[in-house]
Amino acid sequence: MSEKNPIDVNALMQAIPYARYLGITVDQRGNEITTVLHFSQHLIGNPVLPALHGGVIGAFLETTAIAQLAFEFAAGDASAAALPKPIGLTIDYLRSGRPMDTYGRAEITKQGRRVATVRAEAWQDDRSRPIAAAHGHFLLQAADDTAP
């Protein structure tokens, strides 16, 4: 994967309007990436606690999984068109997301020819206390018959 010219995953993510809207960037160090969900008021779901919206956390984990897939499998000329498509995603909400930056990491547990299985985790100030975890299946674009 990263022995050959790693792709700029952050640039790829910044090309996605919704990732920009949520404020997601990718911190790429060596052969690892961490996604960052920069806190902003419009991500709040419960203003009293206050807590991040569950949907935002789900979207962040999904984006983290996609970023990891792109990082490991996309070719050097990767464009947004080649992004894997989610088939199913299960999110476990473990703690409420506080109004601060959130970090995400994903791990590809299995990559098949058409489908990849990915686990992702999000945390805030303490990685051993994740706020949410997800696992999902993604359709790899190269194998997608419906792609143009």
Binding interface with other proteins (CB under 8 A): 15-19, 21-22, 41-49, 52-56, 58-60, 62-63, 79-81, 83, 85-93, 96
Give whichever of 17 and 30 is closer to other proteins, judged by the CB atom: 17
> How far apart are CB 50 and other proteins at their closest, in Å?
9
> How far apart are CB 72 and other proteins at their closest, in Å?
19
Q: What are phi and psi of 92, to 5 degrees?
A: -105, 125
Give whichever of 48 and 126 is closer to other proteins, judged by the CB atom: 48
> How far apart are CB 57 and other proteins at their closest, in Å?
9
Dump the DSSP string for 84-145: PEEEEEEEEE-SPPPSS-EEEEEEEEEE-SSEEEEEEEEESS-TTS-SEEEEEEEE-GGG-T
Residue type (1 letter), 132: A
Give whichever of 13 and 33 is closer to other proteins, judged by the CB atom: 13
What's the rounded Cα separation, in Å, for the pair 123 and 121?
A: 7
> How far apart are CB 96 and other proteins at their closest, in Å?
7
Give whichever of 29 and 41 is closer to other proteins, judged by the CB atom: 41
The three-state secondary structure class of 29 is strand
